[in-house]
Amino acid sequence: MMPKVCFRLPLFLFICLFLSIKGKAFTTNRAENRTKQQASVMETNSSSDSSNNNLPLAGKLEELKLREAELSRLLAEVRLEKLSTLRSRPLNIGVIGFGRFGRFIAKSFQKYGRVFVTSRSDYTEIASEMGVKYIPLSNPSEFLDANLDVIVVAVSILSFEKTISDLALNIRNHLAAKQARENSDKVQGPLIVDVLSVKEHARQVMLELLPLECDILCTHPMFGPDSGKDGWSGLNFVYEKTRVDGVIFNPNDVTTSEEFNDVAGKRHSIHEDNESLIEGIDRIERFLSIWEEEGCRMIPMSCKAHDSYAANSQFITHLMGRILGEQGLSNTPIDTKGFESVLQLIDTTTADSFDLFYGLYKFNQNSMKTIARLQAAMDNVVEELKKTDSTS
């Protein structure tokens, strides 16, 4: 039996189309009534002042408000239906790496599905208090036997490749045993999701090492336990749908929920006679809907484009924080608001591990260009100061 596919964009477009058609009919009736009313007023009182000229505009604004209210009502209904669908078919979500960030996302995941976490350290008590199940990293069989729909790899950039390599081996063994047990020609692996701050590295590693039975979703929540402590509403979530049912998405293609191009340029549709493709896309949509329901601003973007933007935003922020931190700056009795912001930048960036900073540098090919531009800008500013000093 085909699963119920939960797609957001087509449904939204349908709503807009419905409202557009309804709005046009509504506008026509209201416009006819206003025309009759205005003709009557003009016939009985031709000397009316110019305020009567505002009647059509006032009527139009009233119509727009009514249509806006109707749209809000329908969108609220869709959101409730989507939430009901998520909760009626909860995902089994595994999280590898139960450190600070792993605990941060697992806390929200458990509202939408069953969560299983694994890590080197023993987090049994913390996991139990959070309502999730802890499984030691040394027992990968038990972790995979949880019938996981999704595995989120929440480890550091530097340990990511080793973690994926070990996971890939364990998944292959797990799928081979499952295939033999079920006497099946084809078995589906879990959806693998990364949350690294560098995306091309994560994409390449997962495509190279993970078995074809595993779908791949590259993501970067542009927030963490500090910036997201009061909720995820309005916070950016970047993602690239990378591989589904062995088909690699074209990263430069602006995909819809129903159609996409693969890297060979072939167009695919969810209406193909391919149940595993439909299930794979549906699983991705259900997982993305968790972040959307938490209020994230969803940004589909290729890994390459992400890294280009990140080098000039996230990396340069960490770079400047580290450079300023090396100055040994501290509070003074006459601090300006600007200087307080500088100290806050230092505190925020140096609170993260140096391994994260090094990972942003090493695994983003755009980082050296950012450093070179910063050095050149520094030289230009100093030269400008010297030039001004020599002419004054």
d(Cα 82, Cα 130) in Å, to the nearest integer?
25
Does residue 89 carry a pLDDT above 80? no
CA distance readout (Å), 106 to 109, 115, 133, 153, 345? 5, 7, 10, 12, 27
Does residue 16 carry a pLDDT above 50? no
**pLDDT computed for residue 116 by the predictor:** 98
Helix residue spans in the chain (DSSP H) = 9-44, 55-88, 100-109, 124-130, 140-144, 160-182, 199-209, 275-293, 303-310, 316-325, 337-351, 354-362, 367-391
**Residue 112 pLDDT class (50, 70, 90 cuts):** very high
Percent above pLDDT 70 for the chain: 80
- Averaged pLDDT for residues 351-358: 93
**Residue 43 pLDDT class (50, 70, 90 cuts):** very low
d(Cα 266, Cα 258) in Å, to the nearest integer?
14
Among the listed residues 274, 238, 268, 236, the one whose alpha carbon sits nearest the alpha carbon of residue 255: 268
d(Cα 117, Cα 172) in Å, to the nearest integer?
20
What is the reported pTM?
0.76
Mean confidence (pLDDT) of the chain: 85
- Averaged pLDDT for residues 168-188: 92
- Averaged pLDDT for residues 16-22: 39
d(Cα 344, Cα 327) in Å, to the nearest integer?
14
Does residue 48 carry a pLDDT above 70? no
Give residue-wise pLDDT tens across range 225-268. Answer: 989 999 999 999 999 999 999 999 887 775 555 667 777 767 76
Does residue 387 carry a pLDDT above 70? yes
